[in-house]
Amino acid sequence: IAFGRFSDVLVQKGYKVARVEQTETPEMMEARCKSMSHPTKFDKVVRREICRIITKGTQTYSVLDGNPSESHSKYLLCFKEKLNDASGQQRIYGVCFVDTSVGKFYVGQFHDDRHCSRLRTLVAHYPPVQILFEKSNPSLDTKKVLKSCLSASIQEGLNPSSQFWDASKTLKILAEEGYFVKDCKEDHENGTLPPVVKAMISGSDSLALTPGEKHELALSALGACIFYLKKCLIDQELLSMANFEEYVPVDLDIERAQTSTSFFAKTSRRMVLDGVTLTNLEILQNGTNGSTEGTLLQKLDACFTPFGKRLLKQWLCAPLCNPFSINDRLNAVEDLMAIPGKVSEVGELLRKLPDLERLLSKIHSIGSPLKSQNHPDSRAVMYEETTYSKKKIGDFLSTLEGFKVMCEVIMIMEDAIDDFKSNILKQVVCLKDKNPKGRFPDLSAELKR
């Protein structure tokens, strides 16, 4: 179907694409006109509605959009800035960024210096393809960052309060819309906010409508993100996943962890690679044309799965510097080298895996009760319905097959587990129920249903 192919070409060039669908048949239109006393010439036209607006930062790769051409994440970033002193040396940022193809939101608030070091690091670790900010809000220093580091990203200013919501309005909308309601009943009261968002609310407010003192900018940035997703008609399918994580700057994360007891032995301590370091060392992109050619990422990336490639990229941005964790990883490499036959067998199976992370988001969107109630797509008359239905079934079967393959991998590794020295490898390939160190869930009952 041509829409997915042609829309993607336009979106990659930076255009916004609106998908308009017919929401009634000619017969329905005639019946509607008959029921009216004085139908005008405008009534005698089949009704159409915008069902989706696609931009570079809001691609979800639904059955109509076609498949992703790249495995790496494309983030939509919203931020709000507040200068902390009159000299403009100190500033606070509230940020919210989301990978719409997976449906994962990161929300956070942090202090920054006059060089915007933490903001630079954020955009290097999670490169945004589209940026939203409040009109006339960014300071001169922030504008310099947008111009120098993010010139290739689409940048859009939103009107204060009406588009870039404040924290109170964000919480009010979250309460009204019932995004986090567990079933499709009309009772919106049973919808609870995700823990990350809940932690940003003032403890004294039982109605969850007052922002916490240190999270106003973060909630405002989340509000801008929700406004934009709403405008693109994908707010319901993404927010209902309730997949939120707090964003804490890397250096702050380490400072926070160091205050805990026996920190070095317990945690997988990581190095801080800021934005400047990642650029100068050409870890993710080369300095010539911005591609991965000749970079450390290209040298190390031998991943078979798209979600593995995304995880490796995150690891490279924050490499380990704790000897315990490093040695455990080295043990994992030795353990795998000791069983070459099994490793090549597992490698062949992993090659067959689809992008499960994105497929699960797609399936959630298709089954979203909120979307089926009042989204324009639920009213659309699809003349290619059979093709789309086949595609939906194909995606679902492909996901099930993917999980079966993963269970197969676990079974292949089962008899080698006792010889493994690495804890991390045991966590990955042992079933939760069979081994105290295992983290892999037993999916056999679900897959047999």
Does position 124 have pLDDT exceeding 60, yes or no?
yes
Work out the average pLDDT over 425-449: 89
Burial of 442 (0-12, 13-18, 19+ CB in 10 A): middle
Q: Does residue 324 form part of some domain? A: no
pTM tops 0.85: yes
Question: What pLDDT shows up at residue 261?
Answer: 43
Find the domain containing 201 and state its range.
Answer: 75-246
Q: Which of 185, 211, 246 is the last residue of a domain?
A: 246
Do 396 and 430 share a domain, yes or no?
A: yes
Decide which of 196, 224, 246 is a domain's last residue: 246
Whether 97 is in a domain gets the answer yes
Within-domain flag for 262? no
Question: Given this model, what pLDDT does residue 236 score?
Answer: 92
User: Of residues 374 and 216, which shows the higher confidence score?
Assistant: 216
The string of pLDDT tens digits covering residues 330-348 is: 999 999 999 999 999 999 9
In angstroms, the CA 432 to CA 131 distance is 41
CATH of the domain at 416: 1.10.1420.10
Across the range 392-412, mean pLDDT stands at 94
| Measured CA angle at 210 (ends 205, 214), to 5 deg | 110
CB 317 within 8 A of CB 124: yes
pLDDT digits (tens, 9 = 90+) for 407-430: 999 999 998 999 999 999 999 999
- 182 and 94 inside one domain: yes
**Residue 432 placed within a domain:** yes
Mean pLDDT of 47-51: 94
79 phi/psi in degrees, rounded to 5: -140, 155
In a domain, 228, yes or no: yes
For residues 167 and 130, membership in a common domain is answered with yes
For residue 262, what pLDDT band results from cuts at 50, 70 and 90? very low
- Of 211, 230, 246, which one is at a domain's C-terminal end? 246
Classify strands 75-83 and 91-99 as parallel, antiparallel or unpaired: antiparallel
Say if 42 falls within a structural domain: yes
Asked whether residue 202 falls in the same domain as residue 238, the answer is: yes
Distance between CA atoms of residues 105 and 224, nearest Å = 13
Instruction: Tell me, yes or no, whether 352 and 415 share the same domain.
Output: yes
Mean pLDDT of 108-129: 94
Same domain, 30 and 117: no
Higher pLDDT, 205 or 244: 244
Q: What is the largest CA-CA distance in the chain?
A: 82
Q: Which pLDDT does position 191 carry in this prediction?
A: 58
**Does some domain include residue 275?**
no
- Write the pLDDT tens digit of every residue in 180-201: 887 545 444 445 899 999 999 9
Residues 85 and 208 in one domain: yes
What pLDDT, in 10s, does the model give residues 275-294? 889 989 999 988 888 788 99
- Report the half-sphere exposure of 139 (CA within 13 A, side-chain side): 21
Provide the pLDDT for residue 206. Answer: 78
The answer to whether residue 204 is domain-embedded is: yes
The whole-number average pLDDT for the span 43-49 is 92
Model confidence at 259, pLDDT cuts 50, 70, 90, reads: low
Does 128 lie in the same domain as 29? no
Q: In the chain, how many domains are there?
A: 3
pLDDT surpasses 80 at 62: yes
* 155 and 241 inside one domain: yes
- Same structural domain for residues 31 and 87? no
pLDDT of residue 448: 85
pLDDT mean over 353-362? 94
CA distance 56 to 128: 10
Stronger pLDDT, 219 or 384, i.e. the higher one: 219
Burial 384-407 (b: 16+ CB within 10 A, else e): eeeeeeebbeebeeebeebbebbb
Q: Residues 86, 202: one domain?
A: yes
Which residue carries 């047999």 as its tokens?
Answer: 448
CATH code for position 193: 3.30.420.110
Domain check: are 378 and 436 in the same one? yes
Mean model confidence pLDDT for the chain: 89
